[in-house]
């Protein structure tokens, strides 16, 4: 069943869903390096939009509606949903991913969940790989949805050109407690469920917070109100994403928020995640292979301590 890499690459470039699925599985298993090297020249055209926010903010519904809006403009869409999983069930812990059933029959849409449990070596590396594959397959827009839990998706958000941070009214304390890190990664902020009480207050608090952290002469990121359930505001959100792209393109080179600098940060993150992955693979092969039972027993008996031993192994490598 192994398809030769050149053939798999060709099929991906033709946009064949099964080839894309196969390639993302390979990436998830950390086995797609050769394929990705081959595909690398083909990518770089898709718009990559990250969607993050706390659990319950309505991210999945919003991604669904964003997809329909992009489709109505004739653009094809790839979706990567990043889920932490429970080792108890093997399933996603938050919300149901068996959604957008009617979208899956649309050939212009490809949906894939990546489970934190599955990603050998690193979630951010596997997610970035999946984006590469979808990009090479010719998808115009790639939506990356994360669950808002853990550190991983802060990293994942770094792969996107435009990051949407989705919040909801009534999480006033949540906004107060939001960390600077999240504020920094957000390019467009969304107040979803905007028909709920407290939407005005949430928007005001958010605006105040975003203004507070601005650099000299900088505009605050846009805040868009949506009701994802009904689709209200989603077209405006798509326009805000476009405006963000245009805005970034206009920032003079050398500025920290310029397109070049943003691309450098993404590229650096990408390189780091790949190096991390390769280096961790060597840990087992190179270091742990040298540790015999006698050494393990010495550690158990506490005649050797693992910190000193680790240092010797790593430095002697």
Residue nearer to a copy of itself on the CB measure, 107 or 285: 285
Q: Of 6, 29, 31, 44, which one interacts with a copy of itself (CB under 8 A)?
A: 44
Does 41 interact with a copy of itself (rule: CB under 8 A)? yes
By CB under 8 A, the residues from 118 to 147 that bind a copy of itself are: none
By CB under 8 A, the residues from 245 to 284 that bind a copy of itself are: 260, 263-264, 266-268, 270-272, 274-276, 278-280, 282-284
Q: Of 53, 78, 169, 221, which one interacts with a copy of itself (CB under 8 A)?
A: 53
By CB under 8 A, the residues from 4 to 33 that bind a copy of itself are: 33
Q: How far apart are CA 219 and CA 248, in angstroms?
A: 12
Does 148 interact with a copy of itself (rule: CB under 8 A)? yes
Q: Name the helix (H) or strand (E) containing 21.
A: helix 17-28
Does 287 interact with a copy of itself (rule: CB under 8 A)? yes
Residue nearer to a copy of itself on the CB measure, 18 or 281: 281
Does 151 interact with a copy of itself (rule: CB under 8 A)? yes
From the number of C-beta atoms within 10 Å of its C-beta (0-12, 13-18, 19+), residue 215 rates as exposed
Neighbours of 253 (CB within 10 A): 8
Residues 6+ apart with CB under 8 A from 75: 108, 140, 141
Contact 124, 159 (CB under 8 A): yes
Does 73 interact with a copy of itself (rule: CB under 8 A)? no
Pick the closest to residue 221 from 238, 199, 246, 240 (CA basis): 240
Q: How far apart are CA 252 and CA 304, in angstroms?
A: 56
Residues 6+ apart with CB under 8 A from 268: none
Q: How far apart are CA 235 and CA 94, in angstroms?
A: 27
Q: How far is the CB of 37 from a copy of itself (least distance, A)?
A: 5
Contact 49, 164 (CB under 8 A): yes
Q: Of 17, 54, 108, 231, which one interacts with a copy of itself (CB under 8 A)?
A: 54
Does 208 interact with a copy of itself (rule: CB under 8 A)? no
Q: Of 5, 75, 210, 313, which one interacts with a copy of itself (CB under 8 A)?
A: 313
The separation between CA 165 and the C-alpha centre of its own chain, rounded to angstroms, equals 12
Tokens 């990518």 identify what position? 43
Q: Strand order of the sheet with strand 162-167?
A: 109-115, 77-83, 141-145, 47-52, 162-167, 188-191, 222-225
Q: How far is the CB of 189 from a copy of itself (least distance, A)?
A: 12
Contact residues toward a copy of itself (CB under 8 A) are: 33, 36-37, 40-41, 43-44, 53-55, 84-91, 93, 116-117, 148-151, 153-154, 173-174, 177-179, 181-182, 260, 263-264, 266-268, 270-272, 274-276, 278-280, 282-284, 287-288, 291, 293, 296-297, 299-300, 302, 305-311, 313-314
């Amino acid at each position: 069943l192994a398809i030769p890499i050149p053939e798999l690459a060709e099929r991906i470039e033709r946009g064949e869903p099964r080839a894309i699925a196969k390639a993302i599985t390979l990436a998830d298993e950390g086995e797609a390096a050769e394929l990705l090297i081959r595909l690398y020249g083909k990518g770089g055209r898709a718009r990559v939009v990250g969607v993050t926010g706390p659990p319950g903010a309505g991210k999945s519904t919003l991604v669904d509606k964003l997809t329909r809006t992009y489709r109505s403009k004739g653009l094809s869409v790839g979706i990567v949903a990043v889920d932490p999983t429970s080792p108890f069930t093997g399933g996603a812990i938050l919300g149901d991913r068996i959604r957008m059933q009617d979208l899956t029959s649309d050939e212009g849409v490809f949906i894939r969940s990546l489970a934190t449990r599955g990603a050998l070596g690193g979630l951010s590396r596997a997610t970035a790989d999946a984006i590469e594959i979808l990009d090479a397959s010719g998808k115009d827009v790639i939506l990356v949805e994360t669950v808002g839990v853990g550190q991983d998706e802060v990293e994942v958000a770094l792969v996107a050109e435009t990051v949407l941070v989705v919040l909801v009214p009534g999480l006033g304390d949540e906004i107060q407690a939001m960390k600077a890190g999240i504020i920094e990664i957000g390019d467009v902020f969304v107040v979803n469920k905007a028909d709920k009480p407290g939407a005005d207050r949430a928007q005001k608090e958010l605006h105040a917070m975003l203004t507070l952290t601005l650099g000299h002469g900088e505009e605050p990121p846009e805040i868009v109100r949506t009701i994802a359930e009904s689709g209200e505001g989603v077209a405006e959100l798509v326009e805000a994403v476009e405006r963000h792209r245009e805005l970034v393109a206009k920032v003079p080179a050398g500025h920290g928020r310029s397109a070049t600098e943003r691309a450098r940060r993404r590229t650096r993150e990408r390189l780091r995640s790949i190096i991390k992955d390769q280096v961790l693979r060597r840990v087992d092969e190179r270091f742990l292979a040298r540790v015999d039972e006698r050494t393990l027993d010495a550690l158990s008996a506490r005649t050797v301590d693992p910190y000193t031993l680790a240092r010797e192994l790593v430095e002697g490598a």
